[in-house]
Amino acid sequence: MRDVIVSGVGMTKFGKFFEKGLKDLTRESVNKALEDAGVSKETIESAYVGNSVAGVITGQETIRGQVVLRDAKIGGIPIFNVENACASSSTAFHLASVGIAAGVYDCALIVGVEKMTHADRNVTFKAFEGGVDVEAMKTQLDQSPGTRSIFMDVYAQKAKDYMNRYSVTKEHLAKIAAKNHNNGRLNPFAQNRKAKSVEDVLNDRLIVDPFTRSMCSPVSDGAAALVLCSKDFAKKTNKPPVYLASSVVTSSELQPLENEGVIKKASKSAFEKAGLGPEDLDVIEVHDATASAELMAYEEIGLCEPGETAKLVDNNMTELHGKKPVNASGGLEAKGHPIGATGLGQIVELVWQLRGEAGSRQVKNSPKVGFAENAGGHLGNENAACTITILTT
């Protein structure tokens, strides 16, 4: 199998853009990625477009990738539409990497794009419901308050169970959220760029116990794009190579083992494929749809032993200039969470960090290994899908 290289990245600002559609967001991110790589649209041999809820929000189904890329003046090539909940675009990245590694293509374009805002917020909340087993959860969905994503209730119950088991407090969640909002303040692509103290987070409006608004990812629009290529093709591009060390996509087990959920399973597999371990990571992006999801990810990806997550928070280990910086971008809580673009947005951030191009949020000591965890949907007691991506210089 051939080496796989990230040669160009681009991203829109994440936010609420009622005046912009999927085409606008895609075009901006694609043009930035191509410019960053220094390649033309004509050199792209295949394209993979990750999107999750355009069918519900905009009504566009079946040919989403062909529609948005045609507007960006890209066509006449294989275009693959990828839908895998919040892991849609990181899954598209994985599929593109397989094509490059296998020698099927030399240069591929990956796009993650999502339009979450709608004049009727009930339409947005309805879109989230597709990420669970709607038949099995019909009663819960019928009783949903209709004022928030169903996932806030799912995450809240998991958080309370975890907090009771390990004596984690609401202050620990607030400290994670404050860290991410302070990081997001430094990120020009972030939706929320206001620094917040732990007290600010705790005093924010309650969404569902134990989460205040600042502990939750907002509704977002946005797009990210990336040019992936072979090692030989990379010699024609502008930037120093960033290598793909491993990419793993997996789904929840029918009967998961105790303490062996989908994120832990995928992480272990990714580390094995890369020949690395948690101790080697220099910069980390995790799927913090809520602050508790980041907290639990510390354990799931191997940064600490079970039940020791609070120690990482208390010792500032995951701060921007801590030993293991997590969500230097601001994470989903501050950067935003346009579902179909989120996973690729994480990978774009890792590329900027590994190149030393992250500006005032750049982690110290010239990072050489980046890690992204992107999970989505919910089945049983865990995420339905998870992707892990490890990049190296």
Domains by residue range for the chain, with CATH: 4-120+221-242 (3.40.47.10), 132-217+246-392 (3.40.47.10)
Residue 67 has a pLDDT of 98
The tokens for 334 are 């501050």
Is residue 145's pLDDT more than 70?
Answer: no
| Cβ-defined contacts of 347-350 (< 8 Å, 24+) | 347/6, 347/9, 347/90, 347/93, 347/224, 347/226, 347/372, 347/389, 347/391, 348/9, 348/10, 348/11, 348/224, 348/226, 349/285, 350/242, 350/283, 350/285, 350/389, 350/391
pLDDT band (50, 70, 90) for residue 147:
low
Residues 6+ apart with CB under 8 A from 383: 252, 261, 262, 263, 375, 376, 377
DSSP strand E in the chain: where? 4-11, 46-50, 79-82, 107-115, 206-208, 211-212, 221-230, 242-251, 283-285, 369-376, 385-392
pLDDT band (50, 70, 90) for residue 87:
very high
Residues forming the active site? 86, 337
Instruction: Name which of 164, 115, 155 is nearest 383 in CA terms.
Output: 155
Residue 154 has a pLDDT of 85
Mean of all residue pLDDT scores within the chain = 95
Of 10-14, 148-152, 185-189, the range with the lowest mean pLDDT is 148-152
Alpha carbon distances (Å) from 180 to 131, 221, 291, 328:
25, 19, 9, 7
pLDDT band (50, 70, 90) for residue 257:
low
Residue 230 has a pLDDT of 97
pLDDT tens digits, 18-59 = 999 999 999 999 999 999 999 999 999 999 999 999 999 999
Residue 18 has a pLDDT of 94
Does 299 or 148 have the greater pLDDT score?
299
Residue 223 has a pLDDT of 98
pLDDT tens digits, 259-288 = 679 999 999 999 999 999 999 999 999 999
pLDDT band (50, 70, 90) for residue 258:
low
Instruction: Give the Cα separation of 74 and 236 in Å (integer).
Output: 20
